[in-house]
Amino acid sequence: MEIYFQLITDADGVRKTCRELAGERYIGFDTETTELDPYRGDLRLVQLSTGKSTYVIDVKAFPEPRANSDLDQLRDFLSDPSKIKIAHNAKFDAKWVRHHLGAELNGIFDTFLASQLIAAGDSERRHSLADVAQFFTGTELDKSEQVSDWGGELSQSQIEYAAKDAAIMVPLREQVEERLRNDDLMRAAQLEFDCVMPIAEMELNGFYLDESRWREQLDRVKIEQERAADELQDMLSAGVAQATLFGRAEINLDSQQQVTDALLNLGVPVPETTRAWQLQPLAEKYPVVAKLLEYRAVAKSLSSFGENILEFIEPKTGRIHADFRQIGAPTGRFSCSNPNLQQIPHEQQYRRCFRAPEGRTLVIADYSQIELRILAEFSDDTTFIKAFASGQDFHTTTASQVFGVQPADVTTDQRSFAKRLNFGVVYGIGASRFGLMTGLSQNDAENTMRKYFGTYRGLDSYLRRSGSDVIMKRIARTASNRMLRLRFDETDRQQVSSARRYGVNMPIQGTSADILKRALRILHDSLRGTSGRLVNIVHDEVIVECDAAEAQSVSEILDRSMCAAGKEYLSKVPVNVDVHIADEWTK
């Protein structure tokens, strides 16, 4: 691939570059950096290309680039939403230009996110720039210079490599956009592109973790684990065939086989696998099962949320800057790693370790029963919609219908039962699974579900119709038109059943993800000029940190932003957001 490029090392060159690009609508954009983390390295190159002419700006030639006025026109150009910057994994580049240039990247077309949308859940597809360029344009990119040293004097080969990565973006966008349009994915793509900068900003902001509180919590959990292990060994020892001469029989508590054998010897009807949801119904009848679940929960907490979390605190900020993957699942939900902040246990002793620094506070908001509201909207069930429109507690309303009592007479247990049933329906559980979850017999579980769907007849029709459609068309879509292609063997009943369940749930869970992403963009724009900073998200929950004096106004902005996003997707069902102000990450 022949390429014409210029290396820019002075203010005149930057001004000339921006002037020559002023009439262009689409510009290939890339950066080269000395590290993967913007807090630990330098931004070396910024590449801009029309596809025919490419400009490689050497940021190292400009002392203190964030404050250097010679780069003002470049900052303005990157921030201009009318100039579409085509990038691959734009979040990476957005973080670097934000942190090292002080520029907000606007007007994004991200070929990485677009490729994921087009793949529609195909796990075999690869989404690196080399893979995407080969797939859509047939161009082979040589990526050997990617891991070279970008800190010293650059070779001609390095500069040419950098220029090619920007130049390929222009023809790549044409092919990718054509496919997006053919698959009716442009709305979903724009939703994703608009969300890039809010997520980049959130990762740069980081979430403050109080190290001393975390260590105190670890000490407590270690004591809990030792106690639970000791008590569980006592309870299981009676089920071990060979007792020792020196006291109780010791078994490996982390060995599923040894634990299962001991439970069977104690007369516990252990299911084929000992997953928590399968053991849960047995816990009330068999104290040893309850103790096993307690031990496993503590052991998992210690291994997943132990000392390792502290290693992720960035010394320069004292904060954790996790990595959020925008399309972390085919539904469009986020995933998170390094570390996974979305899986921090809900217990207060864990959450209180994440707090606001001195003088700051947290504003925490989450959508109220958003997936059930989406299901009500999609099903158009009048009783379902009315239950939300009335403003009454939805789980209480369901319990009232299922148990045939007045809402005022619904007990806590009945509400809890109805809650499990409501959320179970969203995830497509059948009577057998519901019976396992609640301890009901197969017959009682079937009768309960029959009453439920007798109450919500429109919902029943929708779920049946939706299930048939996804099996026939092998496609499911969210409200933004995000698409999932279902792949299954139609002769395999289990595969068909699983595909039906997933296909029915995907539009609901995926639309929830759509709403959150739209909310993040509205929030990002609305927080400008305030002290509010997005610091974390967990599916339908948003956490903003701000100056304590501004907490009330920021909470109103957060509430408005999230409700506005919900109303763009839901017209028949009211959208409710629960917002509260706290010094710690608590419910």
Q: Which of 321-349 are b and which e, b meaning 16 or more Cβ less than 10 Å from the residue's Cβ?
A: bbbbebbbebbbbbebeebebbebeeeee
| Distance, CA of 370 to CA of 514 (rounded, Å) | 12
Q: What percent of the chain has pLDDT over 70?
A: 98
pLDDT of residue 417: 84
| Distance, CA of 144 to CA of 501 (rounded, Å) | 44
Which has the minimum average pLDDT: 243-257, 305-319, 531-545? 243-257
Mean per-residue pLDDT, 265-283: 79
User: What's the CATH number of domain 4-183, 3.50.50.60, 3.30.420.10, 3.40.50.300, 1.10.3720.10?
Assistant: 3.30.420.10
Q: Could you give the residue range(s) of every CATH 3.30.70.370 domain in the chain?
A: 329-381+477-587
Give backbone dihedrals phi and psi of 153, rounded to 5 degrees, phi first. Answer: -70, 130
Q: Residue 491 pLDDT more than 80?
A: yes
Mean per-residue pLDDT, 87-100: 98
3-state secondary structure of 551: helix
| Distance, CA of 520 to CA of 512 (rounded, Å) | 13
Mean per-residue pLDDT, 460-489: 94
Q: Could you give the residue range(s) of every CATH 1.20.1060.10 domain in the chain?
A: 211-307
Q: Could you give the residue range(s) of every CATH 3.30.420.10 domain in the chain?
A: 4-183
Which residues lie below 8 Å from residue 255, measured CB to CB, with a gap of 6+?
none
Instruction: List, for residues 541-566, the tens digit of each pLDDT value.
Output: 999 999 999 999 999 999 999 999 99
Going from the C-alpha of 541 to that of each of 323, 355, 573, 577, the distances in angstroms are 17, 16, 19, 9
Residue 362 — very low, low, confident or very high, per pLDDT cuts 50/70/90?
Answer: very high
pLDDT of residue 240: 72
**Cβ pair 268, 289 in contact under 8 A:** yes
Instruction: List, for residues 519-543, the tens digit of each pLDDT value.
Output: 999 999 999 999 999 999 999 999 9
Instruction: List, for residues 396-452, the tens digit of each pLDDT value.
Output: 988 888 888 898 899 998 898 888 888 888 777 778 877 877 777 888 888 888 888
Q: Residue 245 pLDDT more than 60?
A: no
User: What's the CATH number of domain 211-307, 1.10.3720.10, 2.40.10.120, 1.10.287.180, 1.20.1060.10?
Assistant: 1.20.1060.10
Residue 257 — very low, low, confident or very high, per pLDDT cuts 50/70/90?
Answer: confident
Instruction: List, for residues 98-154, the tens digit of each pLDDT value.
Output: 999 999 999 999 999 999 999 999 999 999 999 999 999 999 988 888 888 999 999
Please give the sequence-ordered ranges of beta strands (E in DSSP) within 334-464, or none if there are none.
335-337, 360-367
Please give the sequence-ordered ranges of beta strands (E in DSSP) within 181-232, or none if there are none.
207-208
| Distance, CA of 284 to CA of 533 (rounded, Å) | 45
61: nearest Cα among 14, 4, 5, 3: 14
Which residues lie below 8 Å from residue 405, measured CB to CB, with a gap of 6+?
399, 414
pLDDT of residue 438: 74
pLDDT of residue 241: 59
3-state secondary structure of 542: strand
Mean per-residue pLDDT, 372-388: 93
Task: Write the CATH number of the domain with boundaries 329-381+477-587.
Answer: 3.30.70.370
pLDDT of residue 441: 84
pLDDT of residue 143: 82
pLDDT of residue 283: 83
Task: Report the chain's C-alpha Rg in angstroms.
Answer: 27
Cis upstream peptide for 339 (omega within 30°) = yes
Residue 455 — very low, low, confident or very high, per pLDDT cuts 50/70/90?
Answer: confident
